[in-house]
Structure 1
Amino acid sequence: MAQPATDPAAPEKKSPPKAAPERPADPPEEAVEGATGLDMVLVDAARGPLRRLVPPAGTALRFGTSLARQPGTLARRGGELARELGLITLGRSELAPGKKDKRFADPAWTGNPLLRRAMQTHLAAARAAWELIEDAGLDWQDDERIRFTATNLVDALAPSNVPVVNPLSLKAAIDTGGISALKGVGRMVRDLANPPRVPSMVEPDAFTVGEDLASTPGTVVFRTPVFELIRYTPTTETVREVPLLMVPPTINKYYIADLAPGRSIVEHYVNSGQQVFMMSWRNPDERHAEWGLDTYGQAIIDAMDAVERASGSERVALQAFCSGGIITAMVLAHLAAIGQQDRVAAASYAVTVLDWSRAGTISALMDEEAVNASTEKSRRKGYLDGAQLAEVFAWLRPNDLIWNYWVNNYLQGKPPPNFDILFWNADTTRMTAALHRDFIDIAVGNALTEPGKATMLGTPVDLSTVPVDSYITAGIADHLCPWQACYRSTQLLGGDNRFILSTSGHIASLVNPPGNPKSTFQVASDTPADPQEWLARAETVQGSWWPDFMSWLGERSGDEIAPPAAGDLEELADAPGTYVFDK
């Protein structure tokens, strides 16, 4: 799933290509780094992602004006499209979908003359759209705004989405005597009746938390109004002296790190002899509207205190995911400011962005009005609804997460396939209004890149003062936290850094168990300032990064000891605890 240096969706500069792009709806690679981001997701989730399908008036005006000033270019592109449409009409066009474009995989799209022409017309129009955007020569902000609009419109208008055109839909109707159509309509009605109002990606009863997922044995040993702390049961005769505290995202539930057996990060760590503790965030509601960054930062410190009591260790290691990594980095800067940096033996940041310069699109796709409207809406409600977040995530990759399931669920009347990651993704949580506001404030001001611009628990945040070694992971195809943005954390944090570039996207790069023959990761011996320079030096290693992280952490986790007793903490419940079931 590695993305090429030059996206095949970008048109040739000198002569039009004979073949269609691999993914006509994807923006060129140079836009990928700024195409999405946590900041944009949090703003859009409160306002609704469909508002971005229409670009701001100023952007649309500049796009139109730029093309109007190039009548020759417009005439040339129009002529190219007309010639291609003529070839399509005569059945002589060589346009074909990319090998990875699953929308047109059915043989009918090439074997049936009418379907082939419909497909080729769509591909020709998509190519023309990208060429015109390229010709407009907009600045990067306007360019990204227009590309996002074009991407969603091109995806939506694909003939594969039309019931009477898609051969899969027609075949299903014939095979079932029309029952597939009735089932599809029923599924659509159910999906549209409740947020997030997108096609279901997994059946609601596909898995059971605590049985199929989040089933690694352990106990809840500490609980506050904000989180539960799970201590996992050791499976080895000896364990590492320094325990690992895992900090999950604040956007979804913790068990992304404890999926099905054999695909569980926690299970692998425990079986490798690591003491593992997990924070499980409470699913907040309007009563918790004022819980902000300080609340969650204090929760991490409270969890560290409890882990030290339970393990007898004076130090802990931390591994944090996505938004949890933002809070963790700020907590480490706070500990350094108050002279308690020695409490942390090592830190790991998984798919976490600390430097938002071109990491998200707050400066490209958002404006001050959008930000203010977003935070005001969550303030009035007391929280940001997880279903709204799920809707935004889906529209970030509409071909994969909207239209793919549109065809499967509605046009063919089939249930979506069961997939543990998508079940976790559908098990949404809310975000407090204060945390929503704080995250956006940090992103808008890119505050973590400037010492003292942000604070945590009353102390200025300076990430360069964080002295612990860091293990930083990213996914090469991550559309939410682009790997280049994750890489820039190596330049902000003190201590020695090891950067790992995994295969796949945001979540699949994490859930990457050993034994998968397709898994690889890239690593280099040092971390220069330029991520592309790092990539040029990196070597590819076959397999998962999980064992590599266990080796790296083992070097910083002290001696091998017998599993410690429970300490003075009471066992409150069996894993996965109670907060994970909050709706």
Structure 2
Amino acid sequence: MAQPTTEPARTASAPPPQHPDAAPAAGGPEQAAEAATGLDMLLVDAARGPLRRLVPPAGTALRFGSALARKPDVVARRGGELARELGKVVAGRSELAPGKKDKRFTDPAWSGNPLLKRAMQAHLAAARVAWELIEDADLDWQDDERIRFTATNLVDALAPSNVPVVNPLSLKAVIDTGGASAFKGLRRMVKDLANPPRVPTMVEPDAFTVGEDLAVTPGAVVFRTDVFELIQYRPTTETVRALPLVMVPPTINKFYIADMAPGRSIVEHYVSSGQQVFMMSWRNPDERHADWDLDTYGQAVLDAMDAVERITGQEQVALQAFCSGGIITAMVLAHLAATGRQDRVRAVSYAVTVLDWDRAGTMSALMDEEAVQAATERSRKKGYLDGAQLAEVFAWLRPNDLVWNYWVNNYLQGKPPPNFDILFWNADTTRMTAGLHRGFIEVALKNALTRPGASRMLGSPVDLSAVTVDSYVTAGIADHICPWQSCYRSTQLLGGESRFILSTNGHIASLVNPPGNPKSTFQVAESTPPDPDRWLQQAETVKGSWWPDFMSWLGNRSGEEIPAPRELGGNGLEVLAEAPGTYVFDK
């Protein structure tokens, strides 16, 4: 989202130009998962209500209108193009067709029924002109993102596929079920609208069971504070790497994004590769914990490191952090560097983590002063920011994938959504404390991590250039929450050597990317020049998952192999509960 990409060619048969970072129209739970899960910081929330999605800020709307008013010839030409195309549509001579990845109009009736075909083509024609007018306006980055955000929601909402009496899937379901589908769909709609996040359910709440279907890698809680539980996973190899790995998950959603179903679990793969693995599992905070801030969570990382060093007898650890957990981890490393203790960390990995917020996408563009004040005031009053409200914001960032796709399936057809583990995890939201929410907003709004001393962690000024620990940075080329170029810029902020890995997948699939998928690839280069596009030009494509590559990279920094511990815990830290622990079940 930070760097506009090339739009599709605008031929007669091409799909209507979309927001440069918009995903293809919904085509299944995998695509929805890419859009559903994203940057846990959630810098703005639904504080200003749903109309915000359909109406751009007044200043942006005024500048957009003024820009077009200065180009009356362009507006007239676009209007003429639309009129001519609509004339072709009415006459049955239009060649407009949806893109191959646009699943909204795949039913044969959309091309075989003359009325439905005309409705579809009229929508595509209007959408194409809308995107062309936005291009013609040539707004600055922030206004452009805001207008595209509004236009995406309006255009997607007005698609004829969303209309019950028009969508052939809806009509067929009514006929096939004798009208039962309509009643089922209505019940689902009423239930969804009655509770946050007030968008169609993406997965049934009983589709999976944590500890039985998900988060089942054997291990135990060996340390617990008010803020987190520390899980140690049971080795499955006779020897293990001496250097233990401490994993720092996001601060919204549960830790088991790294421990999905067997065969799709990052933790499972690491353990089977001979890695000692410890996982932090954050507590789901409530109003009692409103004051927990960046320092609170930074100290928690240090507490986890202390416990791991005590259990393993090692003086160094490796860290791997995800998304907002990566922001906290980077700041902790800066604190260690400032206090002369950086040698406690031998290596660090940042997964889909943005440290440089310059033009970091739609969420950044939407972060005007009013939104920031509304968001922070709302969380201050409640003591936390509710994950359900934040899920609503992200759903409307990708309405085709996360709203209208399920609107058709759940409501128009009266069907239950398909079961998909990542979407179940995504729905298992947690709260963010008011203090942490405020801290993340301040860091992002000031882009503070790019300037030495502009932020502090545990009393120390944060200077990421002083962090000389070797880093392994991963991103997804299709990630619209943490754009890969923004993730790449971490390699320029951090001292030490960096290895940057670019997966062909999006935000979550770039993480949950097990070996064995023939479609998975990643790109890597020997150096990390300042320009991400130059890096991309010199990068080579490697087939498969990056998980084995990371294990190899970490193995080169893990020292000797030692006999695997026979018991979990040790040195006074005993087993408190079997994995996945107790905090993961907090609602």
Give the TM interval when normalised to the shorter protein: over 0.9
CA root-mean-square deviation: 1.8
- The aligned residue for residue 14 of structure 2 is 20
Q: Give the letter for the 2:7 counterpart.
A: D
* TM-aligned CA distance change 1:301 to 1:407, over 3 Å: same
Determine if contact 1:321/1:349 at 8 Å carries over to the other structure. Answer: yes
Q: Give the letter for the 1:100 counterpart.
A: K
Deviations 1:523-562 (A, max 9, x none): 0110000000000111110000000000000001111101
Deviations 1:49-101 (A, max 9, x none): 64242111111111112212222111111111000000000100000000000
Q: Secondary structure at the match of 1:348?
A: strand
- The alignment covers a number of residue pairs equal to 570
Which residue, 564, 576, 579 being the options, matches 2:580?
Answer: 576
Determine if contact 2:349/2:471 at 8 Å carries over to the other structure. Answer: yes
* TM-aligned CA distance change 1:294 to 1:56, over 3 Å: same
| Counterpart check, 1:158 vs 2:152 | no
- The aligned residue for residue 524 of structure 1 is 525
Q: What is the CA–CA distance in structure 2 between the aligned matches of 1:403 and 1:214, rounded to whole Å?
A: 30
Determine if contact 1:31/1:144 at 8 Å carries over to the other structure. Answer: no
- The aligned residue for residue 551 of structure 1 is 552
Q: Secondary structure at the match of 1:501?
A: strand
- Structure 1: runs of 5 or more not aligned: none
Query: What does residue range 470-489 of structure 1 map to in structure 2 within 5 Å?
Result: 470-489=471-490
Determine if contact 2:40/2:251 at 8 Å carries over to the other structure. Answer: no
Query: What does residue range 126-205 of structure 1 map to in structure 2 within 5 Å?
Result: 126-205=127-206
Q: Secondary structure at the match of 1:42?
A: coil
Q: Secondary structure at the match of 1:169?
A: helix
Q: What is the CA–CA distance in structure 1 between the aligned matches of 2:149 and 2:329, rounded to whole Å?
A: 32
Deviations 1:109-143 (A, max 9, x none): 10111110000000000001011111112122211
Query: What does residue range 46-445 of structure 1 map to in structure 2 within 5 Å?
Result: 46-48=47-49, 50-361=51-362, 364-445=365-446
Deviations 1:278-313 (A, max 9, x none): 000000000000000000000000000000111111
Q: Give the letter for the 1:503 counterpart.
A: T
Question: How far 1:47 moved relative to its partner?
Answer: 3.9
* TM-aligned CA distance change 1:546 to 1:393, over 3 Å: same
Q: What is the CA–CA distance in structure 2 between the aligned matches of 1:142 and 1:354, rounded to whole Å?
A: 23
Q: What is the CA–CA distance in structure 2 between the aligned matches of 1:276 and 1:268, rounded to whole Å?
A: 10
Determine if contact 1:290/1:432 at 8 Å carries over to the other structure. Answer: yes
Q: Secondary structure at the match of 1:41?
A: coil
Q: What is the CA–CA distance in structure 1 between the aligned matches of 2:191 and 2:369, rounded to whole Å?
A: 36
Residue identity over aligned pairs, in percent, reads 82
Q: What is the CA–CA distance in structure 2 between the aligned matches of 1:262 and 1:170, rounded to whole Å?
A: 40
Determine if contact 1:49/1:395 at 8 Å carries over to the other structure. Answer: no
Question: How far 1:46 moved relative to its partner?
Answer: 4.2
Question: How far 1:28 moved relative to its partner?
Answer: 2.3
Q: What is the CA–CA distance in structure 1 between the aligned matches of 2:538 and 2:585, rounded to whole Å?
A: 45
Q: What is the CA–CA distance in structure 1 between the aligned matches of 2:317 and 2:352, rounded to whole Å?
A: 21
Q: Give the letter for the 2:192 counterpart.
A: D
Q: Secondary structure at the match of 2:18?
A: coil
Deviations 1:450-496 (A, max 9, x none): 00000000000000111110000001111110000000000001110
- The aligned residue for residue 567 of structure 1 is 570
Q: Give the letter for the 1:324 counterpart.
A: G
Tell me whether 226-235 or 188-197 shows the greater mean CA deviation: 188-197
Determine if contact 2:109/2:168 at 8 Å carries over to the other structure. Answer: yes
- The aligned residue for residue 28 of structure 2 is none
Q: What is the CA–CA distance in structure 2 between the aligned matches of 1:311 and 1:115, rounded to whole Å?
A: 66
Determine if contact 1:25/1:151 at 8 Å carries over to the other structure. Answer: no
Q: What is the CA–CA distance in structure 2 between the aligned matches of 1:338 and 1:196, rounded to whole Å?
A: 43
Question: How far 1:365 moved relative to its partner?
Answer: 2.2
